[in-house]
């Protein structure tokens, strides 16, 4: 079973390591089983498609590959921050920005 991640679909994240270091983007998909996330416009790889019945000539696509979540930081208020968990007023556990103390949607 995968652990709970600090990143969710729709979050804005900053890459802190790797080829795209320093860039920000929106999380399109999270893969908890692999501790990875797909970020819009980042970690672009070339995918060669074989010819098929629908696509007779084949093609080369540029797609976003998953990035390990340890290389991503959530951006809150334009600033990258670590993420913690805290009980909110309703008694539910909610993500909180460590830098500002503000709850994350």
Q: Residue 19 is encoded by which pair of tokens?
A: 């080829």
Q: Model pTM?
A: 0.85
If one counts the domains in the chain, the total is 1
| Structural domain of 45 | 12-80
Q: Which CATH number goes with the domain that contains 47?
A: 2.30.30.30
State the pLDDT at residue 3.
77
Low-confidence ranges of the chain (pLDDT < 50): none
97 found inside a domain: no
What pLDDT, on the 0 to 100 scale, is given for residue 1? Answer: 61
């Amino acid at each position: 079973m995968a652990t709970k991640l600090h990143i969710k679909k729709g979050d804005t994240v900053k890459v802190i390591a790797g080829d795209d270091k320093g860039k920000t983007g929106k999380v399109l998909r999270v893969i908890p089983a692999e501790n990875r996330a797909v970020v819009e416009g980042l970690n672009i790889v070339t995918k060669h498609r074989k010819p098929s019945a629908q696509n007779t000539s084949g093609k080369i696509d540029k797609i976003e590959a998953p990035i390990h979540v340890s290389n991503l930081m959530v951006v809150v208020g334009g600033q990258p921050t670590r993420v913690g968990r805290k009980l909110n007023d309703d008694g539910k556990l909610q993500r909180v920005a460590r830098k500002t103390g503000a709850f994350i949607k």
